[in-house]
Amino acid sequence: MYDVTVLAYGAESDRYLGVPGEDLGGIYSAREFVWWYNGHPDCSNMAPDLKSTDTAVVLGQGNVALDVARILLRPINELETTDIAEHALTSLRESTIRKVYLVGRRGPVQAACTAKELREILGVKDLHIHIQKADLATSPADEEELKKSRIQRRVYELLSKAATSHQQHDIVGQRELHFMFFRKPDRFLPSESGDTVSRVRLEKTCLKENGASGKQVAVGTGQFEDLKCGLVLKSIGYKSVPVDGLPFDEYRGVVPNMKGRVLSWDQAGHAIVEQGLYVAGWLKRGPTGIIATNLYCAEETVASILEDFKNGLLTPASGSPKPGRRGLLQALEHKNVRFVPFSGWEKIDSKERMEGKLRNKPRKKITTWEELLPAVDG
């Protein structure tokens, strides 16, 4: 129906650690947790238990990891004025979590977050930051990494400053954020009931240069320690999902492509460009990078489309124009598929904003499909 189709549906699934005990209760992906507090209808009934423990462990130190830690530790009176989902706000009001451990396989030089996100969590009111000064020691290889990356350099500077400026305060109920570097999860240990997580066993790591990539990778040392907790959030990366009939690299979790042009292979193993089919974003290159990274990625794909158009590769063989949106609407109607047009989204947006205004919030999110669909007809 279209001369050009761009796949840009991102990464909506999760990577797995593949360690024992990963299926215990109280262990969630950070994506699920983010969807829960942001009011995604698919996770509105998740109901994580925030009342049976004072300690949460977040595996990962990227921006999503920092986001979920910030939600768990931010003062409730500040959250009340945001557009956080009501069910999450109710649960966080009753939360007994006071300590969050952010666990990373490598060191502070390799922390995957950006300075902006790090500043936000370091600035949370009345939050005590724990960083072991010994972890901040740098090797010659670390120094080389810092020279090459302004982002990594800024993150390292912020962590170093936080380690020296946050002094210990013995306050009952003090909220604490612990940065744990050079640790990787080995297994999850169950509580006495056997159903829920009670501890994470961590293996200490050290950094070694990977000859192939030149990067420093975390290698286990054979030394272990247990970290007691009642909630674990895995922030180890997102994963794209395949679509029937679409070329897909299961190992890398991306659509194979050359500068955004989707590739498939013939029986002899030769690459074939799928004419008129393109990809952009995390589905194109994997779940890394921020908005600015995606802008450059999209520009590359658009440049490929323009180049193919100029070279006459996108002109239909029949010479007759393709039906486009009109044909799509007819097909959906024929198959009796209900869809939400932009005007329907605008009705949802208007209703949420109106409800939020009554509560002195940016919006009150509608969090179930049963409520969303009638709002479209509103």
For the annotated binding site for FAD, the residues are: 282, 289-291
Strand order in the sheet with 271-279: 5-7, 271-279, 261-265, 257-258
Structure tokens at 12: 């909506």
In one letter, which amino acid is 291?
A: I
Tokens at 61, concatenated: 């130190």
CA dist list (Å): 320 to 296, 329, 346 = 34, 19, 35
Q: Is 361 helix (H, G, I), strand (E, B) or coil?
A: coil
Residues 306 and 259 sit within 8 Å (Cβ to Cβ): no
Q: Measuring CA to CA, how many Å separate 138 from each of 134, 142, 144, 146, 160? A: 9, 6, 10, 10, 11
Residue 68 near residue 92 (C-beta atoms within 8 A): no
Cβ-Cβ contacts under 8 Å for 338 (sequence gap 6 or more): none
Q: How many angstroms separate the most distant Cα atoms in the chain?
A: 77
Binding residues: 61-64, 105-106, 117, 282, 289-291
Rg (CA), the chain: 24
Contact 202, 185 (CB under 8 A): yes
Strand pairing class (216-228; 197-209): antiparallel
Query: What is the tally of helices (H) and strands (E) in the chain?
Result: 12, 15
Q: What are phi and psi of 30, to 5 degrees?
A: -60, -30
Write out the binding residues for NADP(+): 61-64, 105-106, 117, 289
